[in-house]
Amino acid sequence: MRPTLLWMSLACAVLASGARAEEGKACLLNKLPPNPDVPKRGEGRLGANEFFKRFEQHELELVETNLVPGGDFGIARPGERIGNSWLVAAKGTGLGINHKSAPWAQASIVCQVASADGTVKEVLLKPDSGCGCGGTSDWSWTIPSSAPPGTHTVRVTWEWPKRTAQKLERTYKVTIENPLYGKTRDAELARLESQYPGKVELLQDGVLLNGEPYDGVADMSLTFGGYEGDKTGIVSPRARTFDLGYWIVNQKASHYDRGLLRFDLAALQGKKIKQAILKLTIRQGQKYLASKLAAPMPIYPMLKPWVEGDAVAHVDTRGLAKGMPNVFYQAYPEKWERPLASGNTDHGPQCATLETEEGVNPSPGARADVTALVNDWLSGKLENHGLLIGADLPEELAGAHPGTGGKVEAYKQLWPHGLVPFFSSDEPTDQDYRPRLIVIYE
């Protein structure tokens, strides 16, 4: 997905997990050598019921689909990617279990980190991408800027107590070189805390607020577009992503994204706000995308409630969109007036602007002054349904796929600079980079 040190056999799954043209093309060849003994697709991978009928008492093993030489992924640095695929097989038979019908193998990078007091704690780096494409468990990690330097264990495990007492495990090693370790905190936040001692509050998932971990950020991207021949006008809410802009593979496969973002402000009630700053950070390894924020993006206050990533609530059960959400069923519990919440009853007038944040180390980002909007929420002038980032979808494009009807250029002008992937509130790595609201009290 991003500039890589090692490619994994996740390549075909990249598009399924939300890859973009700038982040890599589908089905790239894995730079790790293929494992000739891996059970082949089709006849070599059985459904769970059939597999356990034949091999209930057989010794099982975790098989890697690409060979990791010496069990060592080598050296990886922040922004670089490592990974592989694994499946469960009956040892010596050449037959494996299709993971579409069984639990996936699980994987983590296990880091032993020494504290200043001499104690050692275990830090798990969980994968940031995965797919069950072809019946295997594909996992990959983009090394985060928060990753502890040193040589660590990559642990892959599998168990299914309902079907077998066997527990499987494989281990590898990876050496992380990270000069950024301990240097990822927002520099502007540190400066403001020094300038306004005791008057600065950070609202960001995982950060302590009033002594408790804050868990008040909801975000997701709304996507309009798809592939040529799709006539449903699909709008897909994507959880675990926060992407803005226009993505194009070719003129027949593209889409436009705008973002929904909401902070729970209960902890701020009754307080006077001097300034409120929204901060977003581009995902690791995406520094070359910073130029795509050269133009500002509009921000609007949302007027209708919505549920983060609740795809079930959006599905058109009439089948018009073949199980996917369409332009009339985009919001829950209310409908949008127009696609991508582009109607006047969906959001209010523009209230702020998202702009490039210059000189950010180690990863670039964007910021917006949302003081007026936060004060409107706190005063009750507006109900807090969050904010919407990105230009409206014009009415003339609401029923036109970009790959048909000669609408490509008009569609692309919504954001001609390309798609920019930001960290979301539930990214598994780099907590410092999740969406954040910095509030300065009077």
- Per DSSP, helices labelled H in 149-306 are 187-195
Highest averaged pLDDT of the listed ranges 67-71, 186-190, 339-343? 67-71
In the predicted structure, residue 208 carries a pLDDT above the cut 80? yes
CA dist 71 and 407 (Å) reads 50
pLDDT, one tens digit per residue, over 97-128 is 987 788 899 999 999 988 878 889 898 998 87
Return phi, psi of residue 189, to 5°. -60, -45
46-50, 188-192, 208-212, 329-333: least confident range: 329-333
Return phi, psi of residue 372, to 5°. -60, -40
In the predicted structure, residue 173 carries a pLDDT above the cut 70? yes
Give the C-alpha distances (Å, rounded to integers) separating 18 from 223, 393, 441: 11, 21, 38
| pTM exceeds 0.85 for this model | no
Cβ(172)–Cβ(154) under 8 Å? Answer: yes
Q: Count CA atoms within 13 Å of residue 217 on its CB side.
A: 31
CA dist 304 and 383 (Å) reads 9
Question: What token pair was written down for 243?
Answer: 């992407």
Interval 196-216 mean pLDDT: 93
Enumerate domains of the chain plus CATH numbers.
9-176 (2.60.40.10), 187-441 (no CATH)
- Per DSSP, helices labelled H in 315-370 are none
Give the C-alpha distances (Å, rounded to integers) separating 412 from 199, 237, 251, 254, 330: 43, 20, 10, 9, 22
